[in-house]
Structure 1
Amino acid sequence: MPRATEAPRPSGRRDLLATAFAFQSLFGLVLVFVAAAAFSPSKNGQLLFLDSQNLLNVVRSISEIGILGVGMTLVILIGGIDLSVGSVLGLASVGVCVLLTQDGLGVAAAVALVLVIGLVFGLLQGVAVARFGIQAFIVTLAGMQIARGLARIWSGGQGISLSYGTGPGEVPVVFSLLGERTFNGLVPIPALIFAAVAALGVALLRLSAYSRHVYAIGGNEKAARLSGVPVSRVKIVTFGLCGLLAALAGIVHAGQLNFGGPNDGAMYELDAIAAVVIGGTNLTGGRGSVVGTVAGALLVGVLRNILALNNIDSNIQLLIIGLVIVLAAGIQRLRPASVGS
């Protein structure tokens, strides 16, 4: 008797679902952008939201969170979390200001030293997670307190303002470029730094063996270990990269504000996690992308901007953004198990 042929699978529908979930953050960004343009107030017949300076300001405003978000994406992809990034940002902003104004270091030396501090801080947290088996939540919660305490000790509990010049206690003018614009005064330099970090993050997760290890660990750590993936080393490197990017965000923060304070960066870790979640990265690891995180950060930035332009109460803004985060997480829960990233 001839064997019955198997009915063809609805691959078209599955591919459509895969595309929808893979690009949910981009679809959401487009939707919010169109809504923002539709509800934008106008001045002299010009929509304020679509003004080029306003759009560039949106990118500038989310540059620090976006840089943190790239590092957070890497950590979450391996099934971890890093609650210390906001405090490390504050430590870096204080550190670079102290090194420039009180210790007399040049800009290159001060920036390099602060980046090394962020890298080492992240590596130590990675060692605690990977070698000692302590949960990342606990390690980075402690790290958040330690970094904040170090920032207060380093600064004497005071904020440090930057003034530019060549005299004692003054900072070389080159550092002020972090708060400037380039390309005929159009593009904020922090936005360019964010774009460069995002591009490097995308390349890292698409072109390197490291990326395969990251996704393997997040998908199934035990299976990854049995397959020969150096799980501990990848985890330590990942936390180190997250700390490095948090320090970079702190340097950008100090350059934009001409100020570093020990309390700077408070709650920034939650904004970074929000960008990652809205970007479609699975909080249990193994699925997500830097592109999604960039789109998530931009979505939050656009949403905040249009709400501010319409003079919406700040408390209502928090409520709306919170609902968007819950909606994004809820959409991820609806993703069928058979639909890949």
Structure 2
Amino acid sequence: MTHLRAPGEEPGTPVAPAPPGGPGRWRPPAGGRALADRLFAVQSLFALVVVFVVAVAASPRRDGEILFLSTENLGNIVRAVSEIGIIAVGMTFVVLLGGIDLSVGAILGLSAVGTATLMVDSGLGILPAVAVVLLIGALFGALQGYATARLGIQSFIVTLAGLQVARGLARIWSGGLGIPISYGDGPQQAPPAFEILNGTLNGVVPVPAVLFVGIGVAAIVVLRKTAFARHVYAIGGNEKAARLSGVPVLRVKVTVFAIAGLLAAVAGVIHAGQLNQGSPNDGAGYELDAIAAVVIGGTSLAGGTGSMGGTLAGALLLGILNNILALNNIDANVQLLIKGLVIVAAAGLQKLRRSIV
């Protein structure tokens, strides 16, 4: 073991062992590292609580009421977060592999167009239309996963190409125009039941938020309880070692990207239901917000480390931040600056965690 010796000390002088990681690199004692690890594990939840408290304190008031805490405003937050949150759930699986998926926003746009077109122009019912759209999303993601795993092309490049392909398909399918959704039983009308996606439960909880929470909880269970999740973490930690250990790397990667595409398609269906239209330009930039939620949630972009609960907290944090900035009429450019600083701070915490834990 390497030892540190002060200048001028004789070779026989007792010395303390060097800290792990090599000479010159400080690390806290073992007990301190354990405490630091526990703190970093809940960093996203802690940050969410802090942002929520700050939002309450900074909220405008009307007739003594805190606008941020109004039922309507809280409902707007979770409604706005639902689409990004669902995409971020799929993105978490991809990032845990050590990959990235830039195509999810475009898949959302393709899925919104497909949902509107199939119901309005083709006359399909809700279930057949949604099934077709979800299948398209899953297949699109699976093909990207196959290209990444089999051809050895970085996921950044594959999904960047996939973004362009999905946007192109959406524009071809829609003729380059948005497809409005009107409800009724006649031709060129969608089934009225689809409008539930723009509604609430008991007049309080938005339906998209219920879907987001349900998908999030299911993903938490998958990551904590399944062999598939262990394979995902193993590949993200060391793909070569995972392959030598018998992990089916190709199958896992294809499945993960299929999940990301499927959930992007789910978000696209919700998007069409909330806006009553499908446009080929829908979802632009959503992939960046989803990645931001994953990073803020503590998942390492290097792969192998992270949690789904952190991602859900990260998505809610971004939603609260967007909402309170809008309530205070903060300039849109300043909002972008603030969100960028938050993301950089979260990435900085990841680096700090790797250096001391």
Q: TM-score, normalised by structure 2?
A: 0.91
Does residue 185 (structure 1) correspond to residue 203 (structure 2)? The answer is yes
Quick check: 1:319 aligned with 2:337?
Answer: yes
The ranges of structure 1 where at least 4 consecutive aligned residues each deviate by more than 4 angstroms after the TM superposition are none
Percent pairwise identity: 63
Show the counterpart of 1:173. 192
d(CA) in 1 for partners of 2:40 and 2:188?
52
Choose which of 25, 29, 39 in structure 1 pairs with 2:58: 39
Matches within 5 A, 1:55-74: 55-74=74-93
Instruction: Give the RMSD, CA atoms, in angstroms.
Output: 1.4
Letter in 2 for 1:300: L
Deviation digits for residues 82-116 of structure 1 (CA, Å, limit 9, x no counterpart): 00000000000000100000111110000000000
The answer on 1:242 being equivalent to 2:260 is yes
1:112 maps to 131
The reply on whether 1:83 has 2:102 as its aligned counterpart is yes
Counterparts of 2:35 and 2:104 in 1: how far apart (Å)?
A: 36
Number of the residue aligned with 1:295: 313
Q: 1:211 aligns to what?
A: 229
Shift of 1:338: 6.4
Structure 1 or 2, whichever has the larger Rg, is 2
Which of 124, 145, 149 is matched with 1:126 structurally? 145
Q: Tell me the equivalent position of 2:23.
A: none
Give the C-alpha shift of residue 308 in structure 1.
0.7
Which residue in the other structure is 2:33 paired with?
14
Task: In structure 2, give the amino acid aligned to 1:306.
Answer: I
Residues 226-305 of structure 1 correspond to what in structure 2 (within 5 A)? 226-305=244-323
- Alignment partners' CA distance in 1, 2:279 and 2:177: 7
1:330 positional shift:
0.6
Deviation at 1:337, TM superposition (A): 4.9
Q: Deviations over 1:67-92 (max 9, x none)?
A: 00000000000011000000000000
- Residue of structure 2 equivalent to 1:53: 72
Which AA in structure 2 matches 1:63?
A: S
* Amino acid corresponding to residue 254 of structure 2 in structure 1: I
Quote the Cα distance in structure 2 between the aligned partners of 1:207 and 1:337.
Answer: 29
Q: 1:238 & 1:138 partners in 2: Cα distance?
A: 17
Alignment partners' CA distance in 2, 1:211 and 1:265: 28
- Identify which of 148, 153, 159 aligns with 2:167: 148
**How far off is 1:15 after superposition?**
2.0
Q: Shift of residue 55 of structure 1?
A: 1.2
**In 2, distance between residues paired with 1:131 and 1:86?**
24
Q: SS at 1:205's partner residue?
A: helix
Q: 2:178 matched to which residue of 1?
A: 159
Q: Tell me how many residue pairs correspond in the alignment.
A: 333
Q: Which amino acid aligns with 2:36?
A: L
3-state secondary structure, aligned to 1:262: coil
Other structure's SS at 1:288 match: coil
Counterpart residue identity of residue 225, structure 1: R
Aligned counterpart, 1:92 = 111
**Letter of the 2:144 counterpart:** Q
User: Matched residues in 2 for 1:331 and 1:55: separation?
Assistant: 28
Within the alignment, does 1:23 sit opposite 2:24 as a pair? no
Distance in 1, matches of 2:32 and 2:104, equals 40
